[in-house]
A and B are shown apart, each in its own frame.
Chain A
Amino acid sequence: MVNTSSDIAIKASGLGMIYSPGLFQRKKVGLQSLDLEVPAGSIFGYLGQNGAGKTTTIKILTGLQFATSGQAWLFGVDVLRSESRRKIGFMPENPYFYEYLTAEEALDFYGKLSGMDRESRKRRTDELLSAFGLNHARKVNMRNYSKGMRQRLGLAQAMMHKPPLVILDEPMSGLDPMGRRDVRNAILRLRDNGQTVFFSSHILGDVEEICDRVCVLNLGKKVAEGPIASLLTNKVVEVALSFTGVPKEGHAESAKLAARSWHDGAQYHVLVSDEEKAQKVTAMLQSAGAVLRSMVPHKESLEEYFVRVTMSGGGAGPEYSRE
């Protein structure tokens, strides 16, 4: 029995997508037997390389595509029913809007489509245009908007009716550092308000910083899912050491244990793969008269984890022959 209760914002069971491009072309697997549960009130990162199936999943969830197998629910409502979309706000990748509309006209239009009354639309438009720094351009046609401004308006329209679930496809793509910070803060504010955020991204540093849980896709298949803390190994994977006053003979000895070593002015840096080697190098160089300035152990980052599971993980492969 599939649990579709409303404390689960997104639920997918055996979700699959096979694209049939044409009569004589090979079918492509977009997604294969995806099982997924996104708890309400969390920030969920959806990761994968280009073509891994992230956008396909998002399009199925938002009613833009129809899965060829399996089923999905938003707060317990089947995604095939239009009511499921009452509770979501969605920003597609590189969002486009009607160029002939101004920002306030666009938000009013999306508010109407979401069933908001005139007063709420006006109030919310003012709030969001201020929150996303678009107040100065509220009466400017969107054909004159920069990419960053479109992205911010995309977020604003997704949040217009205060949906309990916000789905964002690559919300940080193509943004400058300030823009990315604004998007990160907006996502965190949504969670603080009790809303759920499900977003795909390539910018793993941002994902690691703000997400509670992640799912990693590879070639249409889920290869990992869970809270970030439980996915990343707690083991030290690298130790960075810095010394001063290292005599020349110490260089050759330490280089044997080091993954990498180099000079930076008066400082000598050594990277080793574990703590045991770090202790050995330190003891060796200190006995030769060097002074240890810093020792920084590195644990596995999400990016390293992503590379590891993607390289070793399975997946359906981008395509298979027609039977």
Chain B
Amino acid sequence: MIIFTIALNTFREAVRDKILYVLLAFGGLLIVGSKAIGYVSFGQEYKIMADMGLAAIWMFSGMVSIFVGTGLIYKEIDKRTIYTILSKPAQRWQFLLGKYLGLALTTLVNMLVLSTAFLAYLWLSGGLVTVALLEALLMIFFEMLVVTAIAIFFSSASTPILSAIFTTIIFFFGQLTKWIVDLAGTLQASAATDEARERYRVIGGWLYKVYLLLPNLHTFNIRQEAVHAEPGVWIGAHELWYGTLWGLAYTAAVLLAAQLIFSRRNF
């Protein structure tokens, strides 16, 4: 009950904040603008529209998660609203989880609005709404669940500006994790001497550690496959299940780490 009360209040806070509508408006404009770019790509206009639409939803949902999420806990401490909540029988983990779920709900509603606008616009323009596009949208949502947890983690320990910087860096480097591992292998293969091979082995070891630490957000990116998929064809249950389970596990680990910091803090 306490978790849902805090979650619903967080959702209410987000929907009464003008920044959400500004981001939604920009996202909507980009979706509408995709048709203009589609015109200049003869024969590919619907694919361009779908590609740009998915990218817009991904980017603006990411911005909501980062910019709303990173201020979420800090604002409570800075404005001292946390005093009247934690002095109730609410436990700290309930507060943190409530804030997380509230922002996840905000992201869900934000994505539903943008996705409905995107799919309706694509369909009205003569494009096809495929199951693969729905799959891609679902995967974006799972990705946002992970990004939101990271934003909450930094927010529970740092200022909004630093949190936004760290979360944005992780958001973008999380897309490149596949290349980080590839880079380690390529470096070792290209070594000409034993000395260089040893040096690259050490560097490769560090890169692998970075790979393990960073969220593998690349897993959620099936946007290209979705755009080029035939109508009625699923990209695959494997990607969906793997993405869902991995996302949930990573989210749980990040929230647990946030709770470890948050539970020891004095306000």
Contacts and interface: CB of A to CB of B under 8 A. Distances in A.
Are these two chains actual partners, yes or no? yes
Given A95-B84, A98-B81, 18 more contacts: A59-B266, A64-B86, A64-B87, A85-B87, A85-B89, A88-B87, A94-B80, A95-B80, A97-B81, A98-B9, A101-B12, A110-B88, A113-B5, A113-B6, A113-B88, A114-B88, A115-B89, A157-B84
B79 to A, nearest CB: 5
22 contacts: A59-B266, A63-B87, A64-B83, A64-B266, A64-B267, A66-B264, A90-B83, A90-B87, A91-B84, A92-B87, A94-B80, A95-B84, A96-B81, A98-B9, A100-B13, A101-B12, A109-B9, A112-B1, A112-B5, A113-B5, A113-B6, A114-B88
Contacts of A115: 1, 89
A248 B82 CA distance: 67
Contacts of B90: 82, 113
A90 B6 CA distance: 18
A114 B85 CA distance: 9
B89 A114 contact: yes
Given A86-B89, A95-B84, A100 B266 contact: no
Given A96-B81, A109-B5, A113-B2, A62 B87 contact: yes
Nearest to A30: B266
B91 interface: yes
Contacts of A63: 86-87
- Leading 6 A-B pairs by shortest Cβ distance: A62-B87, A90-B87, A65-B266, A92-B83, A100-B16, A113-B88
Contacts of A157: 84
Most buried by A among B17, B266, B267: B266
Contacts of B79: 96
Interface of A: 59, 62-66, 82-83, 85-86, 88, 90-92, 94-98, 100-101, 109-110, 112-115, 154, 157
Interface of B: 1-2, 5-6, 9, 12-13, 16-17, 79-91, 264, 266-267
B60 to A, nearest CB: 22
A92 B80 CA distance: 9
Contacts of A94: 80
Contacts of B6: 113
A61 to B, nearest CB: 9
B162 to A, nearest CB: 17
Most buried by A among B9, B79, B90: B9
B80 A96 contact: yes
Contacts of A65: 266-267
Contacts of B1: 112, 115
A100 B267 contact: no
Contact of A113 (B13, B16, B89): B89
A101 B84 CA distance: 14
A83 B89 contact: yes
A42 to B, nearest CB: 21
B71 to A, nearest CB: 14
Contacts of A110: 84, 88
Nearest to A98: B81
A113 B91 CA distance: 11
A77 B260 CA distance: 24
B12 A100 contact: yes
A91 B81 CA distance: 11
A100 B14 CA distance: 10
Nearest to A94: B80
B84 A92 contact: yes
B266 A85 contact: no
A231 B1 CA distance: 47
Given A64-B266, A65-B267, A112-B5, A97 B84 contact: yes
A63 B267 CA distance: 9
Nearest to A108: B5
Given A98-B81, A113-B5, A82 B89 contact: yes
B6 to A, nearest CB: 8
B183 to A, nearest CB: 36
B87 A98 contact: no
Nearest to B79: A96
A63 B85 CA distance: 10
A101 B9 CA distance: 9
B9 to A, nearest CB: 6
Contacts of B264: 66
Nearest to B266: A65
Nearest to A160: B88
Contacts of A112: 1-2, 5
Contacts of A109: 5, 9
A277 to B, nearest CB: 52
Contacts of A101: 9, 12
A100 B2 CA distance: 20
A193 B123 CA distance: 66
Contacts of B5: 109, 112-113
A114 B5 CA distance: 11
A82 B87 CA distance: 9
Nearest to B85: A113
B28 to A, nearest CB: 23
